[in-house]
Structure formats: structure tokens, C-alpha cells
Amino acid sequence: MPVDFPAWDRVYAFFRRWRDKGLVKEFHERLRGKVREAAGRDPEPSAGIIDSQSVKAAASVPASSRGFDGGKKINGRKRHIVVDTTGLLLTVRVTAASVTDREASQGLLAQLATRFFLLRRVWADGGYTGPLGLDPGFWTPETLGS
């Protein structure tokens, strides 16, 4: 801990209280808007980028939450993230590595649709090709693609 912070147990008590009341998420949302405004952008994103990364899981990770990513030859988990065009985090989901990008994107994009009303374009790589089963009124066919 930095020397100008209170004792670690007091700091942790504040963090725990904020986390339990959902304030950590609220702080993140507000700070993202402020950073976007400081960069001369609208606080609400209109475009994003989706991607995933497979990571090895430790032996202590339960087998029920792990999987094998055949393309990357990794036994572990996969983190799926959506960021805005400045790289600021919009949403994240962790799955078994065996879950395809297309499968995970359905939940992520549906979650985005309820939280970010101005978001109209999401760029993705080839792992997201094929039907996503999303509302065509929100995500047009040209919205997702390389």
C-alpha cells in the first residue's frame, strides 16, 4: 500500500463495503465516461471491439470450469471482452476454453444492448463468423465483421 494510505485493513474494509453495495461497478462506469469526455468523445460509446484470449488454468481450478481450446492447444479458461474504441472495458465474461467465440458473444452482445444504448457497431475477427442469433433491429448484418 502507498505510504499515504491508511492501514491495509481499513482500505480493504472500504473496498469490501463498496463491492457489496455495487459501487465499484458504478465508479468504473463513471470514470470511463469521464475519460472518454476528456478525450473529446461522447461519454457513451457508439462502437466497440470484441475478442477473446485462452489462458492455461492452474491445477487447482475445477475441471468443471475448464475446457480445451483446440485451435490454441490450451486447457483452461477463455476470457471474452468487449472494449470501446479507446480500449476501455465495456464488459467481460470468463468461460471454459472450449466455448467458441460465437457462443460467448451472444450473451456479451445481448448484455451490451441493455447497457449501452448508443452502441451500434462492434468489430470482431473471424472467430465470430456465422449466425449470432441476435435481434436484427439492434445488430445489422454489417455490424459484426472483420
Rounded average pLDDT over 130-141: 50
Look at residue 142 in the predicted model and tell me its pLDDT: 47
Alpha-helix residue ranges (DSSP H) falling in the chain: 8-20, 23-38, 101-115
Portion of the chain with pLDDT greater than 70, in percent: 88
If pLDDT is split at 50, 70 and 90, which confidence band does 92 have?
very high
Rounded average pLDDT over 120-129: 82
Look at residue 132 in the predicted model and tell me its pLDDT: 61
Look at residue 140 in the predicted model and tell me its pLDDT: 43
pLDDT higher than 70, residue 135 = no
- C-alpha cell recorded at residue 7: 492501514
Tell me how crowded residue 141 is: count the other CB atoms within 10 A of its CB: 7
Phi and psi at 112, nearest 5°, equal -60, -40
pLDDT higher than 70, residue 126 = yes
29-80 pLDDT tens trace: 999 999 999 999 999 999 999 999 999 988 888 888 899 988 889 999 999 9
Look at residue 141 in the predicted model and tell me its pLDDT: 39
CA distance 142 to 144: 6
CA distance 58 to 30: 34
